[in-house]
Structures are given as C-alpha cells and as structure tokens.
Amino acid sequence: MFTKTFFKLFPPPKFLDIPYSGLDISDDAIRCIDFSSHSKHLSIRKHGMKPLPPGIVESGNIKNREVLIEALNAFRKEMGLYTVKVSLPEEKIYLFRTEIFSENESEIKQNIEFKLEENVPLSASDAIFFFDIIPDNAEDDKTFASVSVAPRDLIVSYLDVLESANFNPISFEVQAKACAHSLIPMNTKGTFIIVNIMDHKSGIYIVCERTVCFTSTIPWGKKNMDSSENIVDSIDELKRELSRVNSYWVLHGHGTVISKIIISGKGALREGLVSHCSPDVKISAEIANVWLNAFSTEEYIPNVSFEDSLDYAVASGLALPRFLI
C-alpha cells in the first residue's frame, strides 16, 4: 500500500490537476471544504464538520484506528467525498532551515537528505521530507530552504485509515502550511505569526513570505478559556508563548520583523483576546479571514457563518487550487 502511494504525497505532481477536497483531521473533529471555480472567484460547493470523541486522535497520534475509520467513512458518505488533500498534525512534524547550493530539485533533495540526521531525530529511511525555498533571503549570495520532515510511520498510519475509509488521498500537507495558504494574502512579502486556536491546543506559526519558518504547539485552547474563572489569566498563557516566539524570531529571524498576528479558530472571537494577546505594542493582532484567497465576501456571500468559518482555516488552505497557493 505505501509503495503505491508514496510518490504522490509531498506534494502531488504539478500535472496532477484533478478536483479534490480539503480534509482536516484534528484531535477534536474532522472538517472538509470543497470549492467550485467560477470566472471571477471560488465558491463553497460543500463544507462539513464531524466531532471526534476524546481519545480517538491525541496530539496527532491515531489512538483508536477502528473508530476513526468508522467516523471517516461515515463523513465521506455524508459529504460525498473521495479525492482529498489531507492535513498532518504540526506537532508531529520536524522543521529546520538549511542552506542549499543548487537550483536543481533532485540535487536539493539529495543535499537535504544528507543533512536530515543532523537536524531531526530520524534516520533518512524513517523519514519523509519536503521543502520550500525561502524567497529573497537577506543573507548575501545564500539560498535557504525550510524543510518539513514527517516520520514515515505517521504517514503510513494516516494512509491506512484513509484508504480503509475509502478515501483517495492525493497528498498531505502540514496544518501550519495549509493555514498559511488560506490566511496570508498572495504575493505578500511580510512576516506574520498565525495563531490557530483549537479546542485543547493552539498552533503558533511564523510565516515569512508565505513560507512556514517556525512552528510551535501549546496545550492551551478554546476550552481552556471556556473553563477559566479569569479570562485574562487564561489569555496570558497565550500571550507568554507569543512573547517567547517573538523573542526567538528577533534572534533567529535573519533581519525580518514580524508585522502582524493573525488569529484563527472560534476562540479568536473571545472578548479581549485580540487586544490582549499582542506580545509587543508594535505588533498588531487581528481575527483571520479564512476566505481571503478564495473570494471576496463583497462579491460572494458564503453559506458558512463568520464564526464557523474560523475553524476552517486548515481545510480551506488544503482545498485551494494550485494557482492560489
């Protein structure tokens, strides 16, 4: 099974231009978006969400294979899905930055493979990696790539449940990268922090010119705010992590400066969160527009409420056609 599908995972070949839906599998739910293309913009052909009981998926690990297969199969039938691009959990992916010395893709891959064991606790045979060239690097005469590395057994486990649920997965993409596709405007040259608030955790991603350069996941999410007696104290947990991430980037960002914090997930709407969470008064924060690169809400009114849309940042980024990412 793995050898038949390995070649098309990260990412699908450029010629593989077939319709697909974005399928986001997280600890708390399964979500999908399917776009239709019109002359001026995309529209939402279908969307859906199916909650997952606790303990089925934990921190991206599939803990109950049979129940997840059952849930995915029921969701596939309900939504009429088949061919999908699928999310991978950010906390299971290793990310590192490395200098590259060629423009030839095969030579770049070979160069990165030699460096894998220096940067991640996986052997080359136990890892699957993909990379993005970091554009317009400030360092003279040097070119760098952002490399994402997935454990091979993680990919096998996700392929197993998807194919057992009768899906046709054409590629996988890390949640952070899918968020960048949906939340950062095309052709933007700035550096941003994305905060993706889920039920029990939040992903924090630094995106430089739409390339993910840093990721972190903290065990704090919407449910933590819901159960807190003091909302300010709860938000302070996020604020402290944002301050830590910002300090890290000041030292390691190679001269780039974070210009904005973009917050997705329904938790972004909690009163006081946006105004309170900025780690520095010079960095503004705003609630995400999940449809930013799909359509303008002045031209097309989606059949998803703004509140609900905030939980679809990953699925939307997965579903966008290639020319928009």
| Mean pLDDT to the nearest integer, 263-286 | 89
DSSP β-bridge partners for residue 214:
206
- The pLDDT value recorded for residue 201 is 96
| Alpha-carbon gap, residue 303 to 272, rounded angstroms | 27
User: What tens digit of pLDDT does each residue of 190-249 get?
Assistant: 999 999 999 999 999 999 989 999 999 999 999 999 999 899 999 999 999 999 999 999
Is a pLDDT exceeding 60 seen at residue 45?
yes
| Mean pLDDT to the nearest integer, 24-42 | 92
- The pLDDT value recorded for residue 11 is 53
| Alpha-carbon gap, residue 15 to 318, rounded angstroms | 17
User: What tens digit of pLDDT does each residue of 282-301 get?
Assistant: 789 999 999 999 999 999 99
Task: For residue 199, give the DSSP letter.
Answer: S
Is a pLDDT exceeding 90 seen at residue 8?
no
